[in-house]
Amino acid sequence: MVPALSDYVCRRVLDVRDQMLAQIRELGEATDRAQRPIPAWRRRLGNLRRRLPPSGQLALLVTTALFLLVALAVFIAHWPPGGGRSVSDFVFTQGASLVFVVILLSLLGGPVSASQTLGSDSGWILRDRQVWIGLAVVGGLSLLELWLGWVRPERAEAGASILLTAGGLTLTAFIAWRLVFLSDPINQLTARTRRQVPELMKTLRRDRSQTAERLRRQGISGDVLAELELQTPPETQARIRGHLMRLRAVSERALHDANWDLAAVGHRALSHLAQAYAHECLVIVAQDPVLDGYCEASNDLHAQVGEARGRDFSHAVLVNTRSTALTVAAKDAERFIGPHADVLPKEAFGTLRFVLALKHMANRRLADDSSTDAPDSLQIIGELGAIAAAMGDSWTSVNYLGHLLPYGISATQARKAHIAWPAWNGVLRSLGALAETHAKHRDPRAFAEAGRKLTDAIDAVATFPHPLHYSGFEPIATSSPTAGSFSLRSLAYAAWSSPTLELDHLKGWGLDTARSLSTLARATHQNDSLAGSFAVQEATETVHHLDVAPIIRSHDDENVDASDIVGNVAYQLSWMRCMGLTKDGLVPSVDLDQLAQIYLTDALLAAHLLAMRGAAVPEGLTKELGQFASDITAIEERDSSRGLADTTDLLARALAAAGEPQAATVSQAAKRLRELARDQPYDLSPMSGWGHLHHGAVTSGLYEEAEAWLGGLSGSSADEHELSR
């Protein structure tokens, strides 16, 4: 799938394919019915059966008629009645023996009333097995005692009948507890869901196997049959959707009556059915009436509440929607890594309907700062994007990422941290998953497109928020040590350590990101010098990590061209320099010492990498360091207390040498850099600036090697050339 296609076009393409498969299925089933006609006697029997009552009622009628006919035959055989020698107590005890059943039947009004409150299937209590099996057992005990009386039991047997009566009492109490339990609408709805959902799933499996058998009989084979066998028949989907709509109606009526608990349980039952359906399906198509109906119902129910008292219900809707979306995402993953991955197309649109519904929910609550619905919705979208990237559906992840970016831009400018943070964090999580995934069907080009969207979004932000903390922009501008967060700095190491991404894409993304951050920091400084100074500081730190990550990759991977990597770093250094230095001099209120030390640290790491590889110094780095030295010299001429001109000048002349760096000159530069560090320390140790990174440079040993290299160059001149070589 090309990234330029819109959601609508993608879904329409899949709709046409699904429609063709549906037509093949309908044609195969119609042909099978025509070739296997139903016998006339079966049709007549079926017509007669449809006129009779349901099976349970029919069994009761037959049993009652049988008892009455046998009793009538006995009376006819011994007509006229009466004429016995004495009054029989046995006859009088029969009424008392049925008292248990009478007690239980008197409690049926509660469950019936609860069914009426739910508003659908008021006669469900008639199909509750526990109640009617219990009633049958109680009636059987009564008949057993009558039979014992008729056969004239002994004294011990008569005493045992007391235990039978006690058992009947306890069983009566159990069934009475069940009836009272079902008298609560919430309990009855929960019991219905536990009973009906497994039955619906059993029907789904049976219908799917029968449809597959009919298609095989018609000679349909190959990939078409393999995919049709996995799909759920439309008739079954319609039946499950109808049950879904009845549960939706229960929640809507409860909301109308302000019964929040019943409404929440109704949506939970709705979600339970949708999750069971998604779990039972072998494949989820783009247009699935059951899941479409679930998302529509969830969005509509969420729209019906907005005041403070309905926040718990709307939060419950989001929690249930997230669970269902994750279940569908797991089923989507089977298109890529499941047992049927070979016959299924690699476009997983199962979660797209959830993303669109979540966007509606987020938009509905954007203005309500007291509601957590908007940030929760954006966080779920970010999770779905990361999951799509991890399973190899790269372009779907890019699509979801594009849905989040407008929220991050607008919320950052409006300083709504609770909206901005989940939006930016979700974007970075998706980018990280795109970088780190090793899925078979991944598309490495998707990372470049996602990175371009991110840099475009950073360009769309007017200024850095000030203060930066608790602004929601922390994932982009800081390390974001918050639990569950993902920062742009850690993304740099995740991306550059990925063996699946192309180096050209990584270089372009790093350069564009450095440019966007530098431009944003300068724009912030022009608007507010105080906020700009903090913006430059954070942007410089981030660009520093964008410099170090490719150097670490080149250090660890000998197949990477070190000169090419350092040349790209040189361009990123130019954007770092532009944040503090211009042709007119130092940008006011910028901490030049910190910027210079970070800049020179990156340059020395690049020099160390070139020295290790024996690679030529790229012309871009030479020009960039020369420009940096020229700017510093101009500043030093105006303010001699800076003391930076000789350091940068020596470093520039060292790296400008052809071939490899000259040890003696770099030695002088290293000594001067250490003198500067004693005055304004910028700790290079793992415990400071980068000790908390996602992909620590500590593990690569780069900083330790660079420290040893610099220390050696600062030592005796006899060993300088050997150490450098």
pLDDT tens-place string over residues 159-197? 666 777 777 777 777 788 888 888 888 888 888 888 889
What type of residue sits at position 259? N
Residue 701 has pLDDT above 60, yes or no: no
Pairing of strands 581-582, 585-586: antiparallel
Summary mean pLDDT of the chain: 75
Where does the pLDDT of residue 37 fall: very low under 50, low under 70, confident under 90, or very high at 90 and above?
A: low
First-to-final CA distance of the chain: 49
Tokens of 508: 């372009």
Q: What are 257-277's pLDDT values in tens digits?
A: 888 999 999 999 999 999 999
The pLDDT score that the predictor gives to residue 694 is 32
Classify residue 83 by its DSSP letter: -
Tokens 């509509």 belong to residue: 300
Regarding predicted confidence, which is higher, 461 or 528?
A: 461
The predicted model gives 57-67 an average pLDDT of 65
Distance CA 502, CA 499 (A): 8
pLDDT of residue 334: 79
pLDDT bracket for residue 669 (50, 70, 90) = very low
Pairwise CA distance, residues 401 & 174, whole Å: 55
**More confident: 558 or 302:** 302
Residue in 150, 135, 143 with CA at minimum distance from that of residue 164: 143
Question: In 350-483, which ranges are E strands?
Answer: none
pTM of the model: 0.78
pLDDT at 667: 43
Residue 216 has pLDDT above 50, yes or no: yes
Answer whether residue 348 shows pLDDT above 80: no
What is residue 430's predicted lDDT score, i.e. its pLDDT? 92
- Please say whether the beta carbons of 129 and 191 come within 8 A: no
**Percentage of the residues of the chain whose pLDDT score is greater than 90:** 22
The per-residue b/e assignment along 411-439, b for 16 or more CB within 10 angstroms, e otherwise, is bbeeebbbbbbbbbbbbbbbbbbbbbbeb
Specify the pLDDT at position 271.
94
How high is the pLDDT of residue 439?
Answer: 77
On the question of pLDDT at 512 being above 60, the answer is yes
pLDDT at 183: 86
250-275 burial: b if 16+ Cβ within 10 Å, else e: bbbbbbeeebbebbbbbbbbbbbbbb
Give the integer Cα–Cα distance in Å for 189 and 195: 10
Q: Which residues are bridge partners to 585 per DSSP? A: 582
CA distance 375 to 358: 10
Q: Is the pLDDT of residue 220 over 80?
A: no
* Gap between the Cα atoms of 411 and 375, Å rounded: 11
Length of the chain in terms of residues written: 725
- Between 34-38, 563-567, 710-714, the lowest mean confidence (pLDDT) is in 710-714
Measure Cα distances from 215 to 28, 85, 119, 218, 487 in Å. 5, 74, 40, 5, 52
pLDDT at 676: 40
H or E, element range at 582: strand 581-582
Q: Which pLDDT does position 723 carry in this prediction?
A: 30
Q: Which two tokens stand for residue 49?
A: 């059966």
CB 250 within 8 Å of CB 120: yes
Cβ atoms of 290 and 241 within 8 Å: the answer is yes
Q: How far is CA 214 from CA 35, 201, 223, in A?
A: 11, 20, 16
| CA nearest neighbour of 117 among 189, 181, 196 | 189
Task: Report pLDDT for 695.
Answer: 34
Tell me the one-letter amino acid at 83.
Answer: G
- Looking at residue 370, its pLDDT comes to 86
pLDDT confidence of residue 466: 83
Residues 33-60 have a mean pLDDT of 66
Token output for 35: 């070739």
Using the predicted structure, report yes or no on whether residue 479 has a pLDDT greater than 90.
Answer: no
Distance of CA 499 to the CA centre of its chain: 25
Residue-wise pLDDT tens digits, 568-577: 888 988 888 8
pLDDT tens digits for 272-294? 999 999 988 887 877 889 999 99
State residue 642's pLDDT score.
53
**Range scoring the smallest mean pLDDT among 24-28, 242-246, 282-286:** 24-28
Highest average pLDDT, of 317-326, 346-355, 628-637, comes from 317-326
Residue 184: what are its φ and ψ, rounded to 5°? -85, 125
Interval 286-317: pLDDT, tens: 788 999 999 999 999 999 987 777 888 999 99
Among 91-105, 442-456, 616-630, 642-656, the minimum mean pLDDT is found in 642-656
Per the CB < 8 A criterion, the answer to whether 572 and 547 are in contact is yes
Report the C-alpha dihedral over residues 382, 384, 390, 393, rounded to 10 degrees: -120
